[in-house]
Structure 1
Amino acid sequence: MADIFQSGISGLLAAQRSLGTTSHNISNVNTEGFTRQRVEQGTRTPTATGAGFLGNGVETQTVRRIFSQQRETAVQVATSEFQRLDTLSGLAGRLDDLVADQSAGLSPALQEFFGAVQDVANDPTSSTAREALLGQGENLAARFQFLDGRFSAINADVDRQLETQVAEVNELAGAIADLNRDIVGELGRTGGQPPNDLLDERDSLIRQLNERVSARTVEQEDGSLNVYIGSGQTLVSRYEASELGVIDSPEDPQQTRIAFTGGSDNVDITDSIQGGTLGGALDFRREVLDPARDELGRIATTVAATFNDQQNLGLQFDSGSAGQLGEDFFNLGQPQVIARETNTGTGEPVVSIDTSNIGALTGDNYRLSFDGTDYTLTNLADGSSQNLGGATAQIDGLDIDASAVTAGDSFLIRPTRLGASELTVALDRPAQVAAASPLRAVEATDPNGQGTNGGTAGISDLSVRSTSGLPLSGGENPLTLTFNATGGSGSNGAWEITDGNGATVATVDYDPSTDAGGVTVDGAGSLANYGDPTFTLSGVPADGDQLIIENNTNGRGDNTNALALGNLNEESILNGGDTTYQEAYASLVGEIGSSTRQAQVNRDAQESALEQANAARESLSGVNLDEEAANLLRFQQAYQASAQAISIGRSLFDSLLAAVR
């Protein structure tokens, strides 16, 4: 009878354990990360007899998770990428909303500023119009500062997010290391039987870790997991967790970096971090925020530099008989130069904006290094390097003087990072607006002020391109143009230009029969020494006729330079002379918008991939209540049948006892 009792009891225990496991599954149907479990059963070792082997019932071999590491890894990878794109699209969306805002963006401020310039051109004697121009200049500078301030605030938010996420990574890493210890201990105590719930908890922590940073795991022989991040740096090794920290970059103390901080030296892993919210925040800062901030600074620098240059070529209102040339309208933000933390010398390179070559200015940052022989400038945007060929150079709209740099030292150069934040208006009085041209063209007159010319020649479109030689000196009529009917090439006539001392400055061929419609004088002779003027000669002069180019005394009512200032808004200046101010800002808005849209589209696609990965995992490992309910009935019936076998065995045993009693 023993075999009946043994088999019945084994079946009873097996069914009981299966019922308990099924009940455990049902209880955890809503537990996130729970993997359903199943009792694995096998036959007991049979008993050998002369009549063959007799079975001894069933035994519970193990309780196994219905688990696929491949599907779990797919969920972890999809989670990491989704969190990266979700963070990137969220932060980029904030920046996009800022720059594209019709009221808070730069475009309205630029339009209003140049509208005020046009008002001065329309009425150059109006102090109200000049006052309004100064006010709009303040507004424009404030708008640049506001946008840069918002960029800076978003950067501060990114830094805080990095600190928070790093703290959470450290907490998760410590928890994973503790679970490794518990799991290895349980495996030892149970003879290698898996502690399923602890394994589920560890997998859940790994998924949470991947929400913050892409992590790769390798299972060890003892059942523990080693966790790696970045390019293979160890975050968890069995029972030990490394500690991450947020540090100041030795290259740029204003930028936070992520490093392992537990050892004697910090190991910077920022550039190798991928995935998760950390990867998304770093990608946003590197690919969207910093380039946008530098580009905004480039636009601000270009607007200020070009407006200053044209303002310098004009004449201030009521500036005296000789005329005072215009002063800078804006205070220009200067390039930022940051010494590497390990530098040994005290000298720094002197870097300034080359305003004469402002169109070559880029939004890229550079690293300047000196090895004792060569000065090397590396573009950090594309990685290209060039030898300066000496301590001084003019490159990409920059003047660089590295003669004070010590061998072995290195410097980060950000040409436009401060361009927007440091832009201010330099003028404080409306009369300082240089609306007039410093030169004017008039017809020669007699002592009574009557014109003496017999022809119809005249000068129009007179403007200057340099302050060299201004204001003109050398007598009342510094530059005199005298027409010689036979003095040109082929005796067809020419204008001879002399200075106030009678010295010849230039000769311009002019044939009245073919040139009466207009001849542009541009860079003739030595005119570069007299403001480098450009002008148009037209009409039919008589032999000996004279035209005078002189100082534009006081410049009252003259709007020549104001018109030139207003035209800057329509000129293609940036990107080597291909882009206007408005086009450059529109391009910035477009690039941010494109990055935002691409991140959002990729995020949505990755969300679908994550849902599919989760669905694949749940289809295998998730709890199905219908299936578990069916299992309850099945195991209940098995339990009842085993109990019935025991009952029958007892009845047979009682009958046997009664027969021999």
Structure 2
Amino acid sequence: MPSVLSTGTSALLAFQRALATTSHNVANINTPGYSRQKVDFATADPQSLGYGTMGNGTRITDIRRVADQLAISRLLDGSGELARLKQLSSMADRVDALFSDTATNVAGVWSNFFDAVSGLSSNASASTNRQSMLDSGGTLASRFSQLNSNLNNLSQEVNNGLLAGATEVNRLAAEIAQLNGVIGGNVDTAAPDLLDRRDQLIANLVGYTGGTAVIQDGGLLNVYTAGGHPLVVGTTASKVTTVVDAFQPERLQMALETQGLKITLDPKALGGQIGGLLEFRSTVLDPAQAELGKLAIGLASSFNEVHRQGVDLYGQMGADFFDIGSPRVTTHAKNTGTGSVSASFGDLAKLDGHNIVLSFDGGNWVANRADTGANVPLTGTGTADDPLLLNGVALVTGGTPDAGDRFLLQPTAGVAGGIKVAISDTSRIAAAAPVKAGATLSNTGTGKLGNVSVTDAANPALRNAANILFTDASTYTIDGAGPFTYTPGQTISANGWSVVLDGAPKAGDSFSITPTPVGSSDNSNALAMNQVENAKVFNAGTITLNGALGGLTTQVGAAARAAEYSLSAQQVITDQAQARRDSISGVNLDEEAADMLRLQQAYQAASQLISTADTMFQTILGAVGR
């Protein structure tokens, strides 16, 4: 009878705990990272009776979680990459929206500006056309500045994301290290819920930094970033912080604090959300801002060059229509010398938006791409008369640099924020040509002059009156200088102007070059300004301003689409890893319901055993009592 009671009791307790475990599984079906738990039964130690042994019922040997570390590791790898691509795609889409939306992009106001220039070229004396061109130019400049400001705001968002990410990484790493200490060196005896909690925290941490977790002897988990930097080693958690960029103090970088030192982390050594932010800044934001500045510089410089070749209604040579800034040069925080570098724009056809690190090796200056480290050809000595020349930028050095001193050249980044219209008086718009050509009425030949073109607007004699006199049908003089040989269709040049003369002049025929008078309605220079958007100014004269505008929009859109496609592919991979993990560790309600029914029936049967033992005991007591 005692054996029946003890056997029934052991079974009752075992099934009760198994039912509690099943209930625990059902209760946590929606808990992130929860792994299904399973009760392992074994027979209790038998009792020796001399003539044999008798069983003593059942016992629970383990309550274990159902998990596959390989499946968990694959999910960790996938989730870190997915977090990186989600962050990258989300931020890239925002830049794409700025450049593609008609309400915020450059294309619409760009088109309006050149439409206004075209209107001026059709009626150069109309004050309304002049005002329209001035207003449209101001709107275009404001759009450049606005877009640059929006990109700066996104850069600040990256900074804020790094600050928040560092705080969360430190919190997660500290909690993981604490759990490593609680779990101890024997994972086999650890509470399943603590193991799940640790795995979930690691997944969250990897979601911020990328990387993976490595099992240490005894079951402790060490966590490393995508670049192999330790975040958690046993019960010790590293501390992540932010530091100011050595070249750009407005920009933050990630660093690892170790032994009192802050080691700046290579952006490529981080994945997850933080890696996505850093990758967005370097591969999408910076190139977009650099190309926007390059486009602004190309427009302003090209338009100014043509505008300076005309005269305004006051009879004065045109000044700059747009104001534009200069390339940015910043000093490395650890420079020890007194060297300085100033920059100005040179040949637009060679202008490149890539950032350059300019280093002094003790005797010479060396230039390298900031992103790839590739060497960039450099000419000149760095003086005002012989500046250093690279990628369409002229550099003048000063002071005394020490060996190892470095400077960061940003040729075009941020320049778009400083563009503005330089004039406010509509009469200052130089729509007319500075000089005009005419034929003497008494000419007897068939010589015919074309339009006068300006070849050197800075020539002091440009607006001096000049006379072209033919001494015979094949020779001519200019203000007595010459004679020069003439052939039909020839270009005649002097004093910074040129003109094409065709036909057959006769001896004594003359042609005059005279300055354009005050208040002229001539539209020659307005026609030239209208063609600026089609000027081939970039990439060694192969890309027009219009082409560069379309290329900017395409570049940003392509970066956003590439991130989106990568995200879609990674989502499939991560979903597969999640499904694999869930097929092993996930709670299945049908399976749990079947287990609950089976255990309930076993529990009831065990209860019946105890009831039977009680009846037997009462029977014995009754027999003895008589």
Match of 2:251 among 241, 255, 259: 255
Q: Which residue of 2 aligns with 1:361?
A: 351
Matching of residue 393 in structure 1 with residue 357 in structure 2? no
- Secondary structure of the residue aligned to 2:318 is coil
Q: Which residue of 2 aligns with 1:58?
A: 58
How far the C-alpha of 1:460 sits from its partner, in A, is 0.3
Q: Which residue of 2 aligns with 1:489?
A: none
1:230-309 alignment, distance < 5 Å: 230-261=226-257, 263-309=259-305
Q: Which residue of 1 aligns with 2:203?
A: 207
**Does the C-alpha gap of structure 1 residues 83 and 438 become closer, same or farther in structure 2, counting only changes over 3 Å?**
same
Q: Which residue of 2 aligns with 1:18?
A: 18
1:328-407 alignment, distance < 5 Å: 328-354=320-346, 357-389=347-379, 390-391=381-382, 392-402=387-397, 404=399, 406-407=401-402
How far the C-alpha of 1:344 sits from its partner, in A, is 1.2
**Does the C-alpha gap of structure 1 residues 104 and 639 become closer, same or farther in structure 2, counting only changes over 3 Å?**
closer
In structure 1, give the amino acid aligned to 2:80. S
In structure 1, give the amino acid aligned to 2:388. A
Distance in 2 between residues matched to 1:586 and 1:32, nearest whole Å: 46
Query: Comparing 554-563 with 197-206, which one deviates more in the overlay?
Result: 554-563
Matching of residue 197 in structure 1 with residue 193 in structure 2? yes
Q: Which residue of 1 aligns with 2:155?
A: 155
Match of 1:434 among 427, 430, 436: 430
- Secondary structure of the residue aligned to 1:576 is coil
**Does the C-alpha gap of structure 1 residues 520 and 366 become closer, same or farther in structure 2, counting only changes over 3 Å?**
farther
Q: Once the two structures are superposed, what CA deviation does each residue of 1:580-611 show, in whole Å capped at 9, x if it has no partner?
A: 22321221111212222232233233333333
How far the C-alpha of 1:346 sits from its partner, in A, is 2.6
Q: Once the two structures are superposed, what CA deviation does each residue of 1:345-376 show, in whole Å capped at 9, x if it has no partner?
A: 2321121101xx21221221111111112211
In structure 2, give the amino acid aligned to 1:605. A
Distance in 1 between residues matched to 2:4 and 2:513, nearest whole Å: 128
Match of 2:598 among 634, 640, 656: 634
Q: Which residue of 2 aligns with 1:73?
A: 73
Distance in 1 between residues matched to 2:468 and 2:302, nearest whole Å: 31
Match of 2:579 among 615, 620, 631: 615
Matching of residue 312 in structure 1 with residue 308 in structure 2? yes
Match of 1:507 among 462, 474, 484: 484
Q: Which residue of 1 aligns with 2:476?
A: 496
In structure 1, give the amino acid aligned to 2:476. E
Match of 1:412 among 405, 408, 416: 408
Match of 2:507 among 543, 555, 559: 543
Q: Which residue of 2 aligns with 1:221?
A: 217
Tell whether the 8 Å contact from 2:359 to 2:405 is kept in structure 1 after alignment: yes
Tell whether the 8 Å contact from 1:107 to 1:582 is kept in structure 2 after alignment: no
Instruction: State percent identity of aligned pairs.
Output: 35
Structure 1 gap segments, 5+ residues each? 445-450, 486-492
Tell whether the 8 Å contact from 1:437 to 1:555 is kept in structure 2 after alignment: no
Query: Comparing 425-434 with 562-571, which one deviates more in the overlay?
Result: 425-434
**Does the C-alpha gap of structure 1 residues 126 and 155 become closer, same or farther in structure 2, counting only changes over 3 Å?**
same
Distance in 1 between residues matched to 2:618 and 2:138, nearest whole Å: 109
Query: Comparing 5-14 with 122-131, which one deviates more in the overlay?
Result: 5-14
Tell whether the 8 Å contact from 1:483 to 1:546 is kept in structure 2 after alignment: no
How far the C-alpha of 1:627 sits from its partner, in A, is 1.4
In structure 2, give the amino acid aligned to 1:507. F
Tell whether the 8 Å contact from 1:358 to 1:574 is kept in structure 2 after alignment: yes
In structure 2, give the amino acid aligned to 1:370. F
- Secondary structure of the residue aligned to 1:372 is coil
How far the C-alpha of 1:479 sits from its partner, in A, is 4.9
Query: Comparing 420-429 with 391-400, which one deviates more in the overlay?
Result: 391-400
How far the C-alpha of 1:574 sits from its partner, in A, is 2.3
Matching of residue 567 in structure 1 with residue 557 in structure 2? no
**Does the C-alpha gap of structure 1 residues 212 and 565 become closer, same or farther in structure 2, counting only changes over 3 Å?**
same
In structure 2, give the amino acid aligned to 1:551. P
**Does the C-alpha gap of structure 1 residues 548 and 60 become closer, same or farther in structure 2, counting only changes over 3 Å?**
same
In structure 2, give the amino acid aligned to 1:318. Y
- Secondary structure of the residue aligned to 1:402 is strand
**Does the C-alpha gap of structure 1 residues 294 and 660 become closer, same or farther in structure 2, counting only changes over 3 Å?**
same
Q: Which residue of 1 aligns with 2:317?
A: 325
Distance in 1 between residues matched to 2:179 and 2:477, nearest whole Å: 93
Q: Which residue of 1 aligns with 2:104?
A: 104
Tell whether the 8 Å contact from 2:117 to 2:526 is kept in structure 1 after alignment: yes
- Secondary structure of the residue aligned to 1:535 is strand
How far the C-alpha of 1:420 sits from its partner, in A, is 0.9
Distance in 2 between residues matched to 1:279 and 1:585, nearest whole Å: 30
Query: Comparing 409-418 with 625-634, which one deviates more in the overlay?
Result: 625-634
Distance in 1 between residues matched to 2:96 and 2:453, nearest whole Å: 41
Distance in 2 between residues matched to 1:29 and 1:263, nearest whole Å: 43
How far the C-alpha of 1:231 sits from its partner, in A, is 1.1
Tell whether the 8 Å contact from 2:469 to 2:508 is kept in structure 1 after alignment: no
Distance in 2 between residues matched to 1:161 and 1:217, nearest whole Å: 24
Matching of residue 480 in structure 1 with residue 458 in structure 2? no
The TM-score normalised by the length of structure 2 is 0.91
Query: Comparing 382-391 with 292-301, which one deviates more in the overlay?
Result: 382-391
How far the C-alpha of 1:199 sits from its partner, in A, is 0.8
Query: Comparing 90-99 with 39-48, which one deviates more in the overlay?
Result: 39-48
Tell whether the 8 Å contact from 2:83 to 2:208 is kept in structure 1 after alignment: yes
Q: Once the two structures are superposed, what CA deviation does each residue of 1:320-346 show, in whole Å capped at 9, x if it has no partner?
A: xxxx32111111121011100001123
Distance in 2 between residues matched to 1:69 and 1:264, nearest whole Å: 35
How far the C-alpha of 1:303 sits from its partner, in A, is 0.5
Distance in 2 between residues matched to 1:482 and 1:469, nearest whole Å: 25
In structure 1, give the amino acid aligned to 2:495. Y
Distance in 1 between residues matched to 2:457 and 2:477, nearest whole Å: 19
Count of aligned positions:
619
Tell whether the 8 Å contact from 1:311 to 1:326 is kept in structure 2 after alignment: yes
Tell whether the 8 Å contact from 2:467 to 2:510 is kept in structure 1 after alignment: no
Distance in 2 between residues matched to 1:329 and 1:604, nearest whole Å: 47
Distance in 1 between residues matched to 2:87 and 2:466, nearest whole Å: 67
Query: Comparing 369-378 with 16-25, which one deviates more in the overlay?
Result: 16-25
Q: Once the two structures are superposed, what CA deviation does each residue of 1:478-519 show, in whole Å capped at 9, x if it has no partner?
A: 35242533xxxxxxx3x4343x4x333x83441xxxx4xxx1
**Does the C-alpha gap of structure 1 residues 285 and 34 become closer, same or farther in structure 2, counting only changes over 3 Å?**
same
Q: Which residue of 2 aligns with 1:588?
A: 552
**Does the C-alpha gap of structure 1 residues 22 and 128 become closer, same or farther in structure 2, counting only changes over 3 Å?**
closer
Tell whether the 8 Å contact from 1:230 to 1:269 is kept in structure 2 after alignment: no
Distance in 1 between residues matched to 2:399 and 2:305, nearest whole Å: 29
Q: Which residue of 2 aligns with 1:129?
A: 129
In structure 2, give the amino acid aligned to 1:633. L
- Secondary structure of the residue aligned to 2:418 is coil
In structure 1, give the amino acid aligned to 2:83. Q
Tell whether the 8 Å contact from 2:221 to 2:233 is kept in structure 1 after alignment: yes
The TM-score normalised by the length of structure 1 is 0.87
Tell whether the 8 Å contact from 2:212 to 2:226 is kept in structure 1 after alignment: no
- Secondary structure of the residue aligned to 1:327 is coil
How far the C-alpha of 1:540 sits from its partner, in A, is 1.8
**Does the C-alpha gap of structure 1 residues 128 and 635 become closer, same or farther in structure 2, counting only changes over 3 Å?**
closer
Q: Which residue of 2 aligns with 1:605?
A: 569
Distance in 1 between residues matched to 2:178 and 2:270, nearest whole Å: 25
Distance in 1 between residues matched to 2:400 and 2:281, nearest whole Å: 30
Q: Once the two structures are superposed, what CA deviation does each residue of 1:145-202 show, in whole Å capped at 9, x if it has no partner?
A: 11111111222222222222222222211221222222228x59xxx51211111111
In structure 2, give the amino acid aligned to 1:326. G
Distance in 1 between residues matched to 2:408 and 2:537, nearest whole Å: 26
Structure 2 gap segments, 5+ residues each? none
Tell whether the 8 Å contact from 1:64 to 1:194 is kept in structure 2 after alignment: no
Distance in 2 between residues matched to 1:508 and 1:535, nearest whole Å: 15
Tell whether the 8 Å contact from 1:352 to 1:398 is kept in structure 2 after alignment: yes
